[in-house]
Amino acid sequence: MVAAQDGTLLAFAEGRKSSAADDGDVDLVLKKSSDGGTTWGALQVVSEDGVNFVGNPSPVVDEETGRVVVLATHKNGQDSELEILTATGQDTSRVWLLTSEDNGTSWASPQEITEQVKRPEWRWFTVGPGHAIQLSVGKNAGRLVAPANYSDPQTGAGNVALLSDDGGSTWRIGAEGNPDDANNPDECTSAEMPDGSIIFSSRNQNQAAPWHRLRTTSSDSGQSFAAPFAEQVGLVVPVVQGSLLWDGDPSESNTTSAAGRLLFSAPSNQNDRVDLSIRSSTDAGVTWSAGTLISAGPAGYSDLIELPGGLVGVLHEAGVSNSFERIDMTVLGRQKLGT
């Protein structure tokens, strides 16, 4: 989810037409809100490719031009994840670039950028899902950074930062790497800190690991990781995607001021996808608060956004029997998020 330059909220999702599975016939869809997430317009199909998969949206708005940029994953609709991982399917994971010059009203035809961002030996490759970021500090201010994950048959799974220095027109590989232990980085989210460093938080796909979240940083605008991803000891989450957001103090005119905190949204149960919470950190994501419960019961993927008027929004999966039943938008004042 992102806010266009005219203030319109753009909430992207996967329109899974054949089933709730992660493969098959999937369209990239969008709903828009012009009142801060209170009401939403009709469902809009941003991109589709017949019976194939177009999903895993990673949107960002270039603040200089107003262009809405979305990286998406494309797969053959008949290929399973296992077939892509083992190179036994009909195709491989590909990356599409989608752009809008009018705040999400219309979209240019998708451009395939797989060769720009994916090494030939990588098999499974997905961007996001969740918002990408634009840097605002230092000599590389304006750079777009989009986390992604890949599989390599020789070295295993890893994360990569995709970078653009021209407002999203072209992309390249920046930081890349995998842990030096049994951790298995997967879907990744990032946030820029006031000093210009970037925090990366990744889903740990190793089901047997004691902790299911991994963390590293970059001090060179996403060009390299400062260290291998390491377990976030004490951060209670299941194996699931999550979202980071730097939340600056609303009393400060410059949101890159040190007055603020890092927010993280995800289910807050060690084993099950239930009880979505937003937790906060004042030490760059090393330690986290117990958090504020946003939605009790089944919970899944989420995406955080800063809203005007001292508000924070979280778009999240929810339901009664499982987390695939609906997508909710919850808006809270900063004071309700605790410390």
The pLDDT of residue 121 is above 70: yes
Residue 258's identity, in one-letter code, is: A
Could you tell me the pLDDT band of residue 19, with boundaries at 50, 70 and 90? confident
Q: Please state the rounded mean pLDDT for residues 266-278.
A: 96
What CATH code is assigned to 60-337? 2.120.10.10
Could you tell me the pLDDT band of residue 33, with boundaries at 50, 70 and 90? very high
How far apart are the C-alpha atoms of 113 and 160, rounded to whole Å?
15
The pLDDT of residue 339 is above 60: no
pLDDT at 259: 67
The pLDDT of residue 336 is above 70: yes
The pLDDT of residue 256 is above 70: no
Could you tell me the pLDDT band of residue 306, with boundaries at 50, 70 and 90? very high
What does residue 147 show for φ and ψ, rounded to 5 degrees? -70, 150
> How high does pLDDT run on average in the chain?
93
Q: Please state the rounded mean pLDDT for residues 191-203.
A: 97
pLDDT at 21: 86
Annotated domain spans of the chain: 60-337
pLDDT at 334: 84
- How many other C-beta atoms can be found within 10 angstroms of the C-beta atom of residue 178? 21
- How many other C-beta atoms can be found within 10 angstroms of the C-beta atom of residue 215? 19
pLDDT at 338: 63
pLDDT at 49: 97
- How many other C-beta atoms can be found within 10 angstroms of the C-beta atom of residue 36? 17
Could you tell me the pLDDT band of residue 258, with boundaries at 50, 70 and 90? low
Residue 245's identity, in one-letter code, is: L
131-141 residue pLDDT tens: 999 999 999 99
* Residue 219 φ/ψ region, left for φ over 0, alpha for ψ in the -120 to 50 degree band, beta for the rest: alpha
Could you tell me the pLDDT band of residue 337, with boundaries at 50, 70 and 90? confident
Give the side-chain half-sphere CA count within 13 A for 245.
28
- How many other C-beta atoms can be found within 10 angstroms of the C-beta atom of residue 336? 12
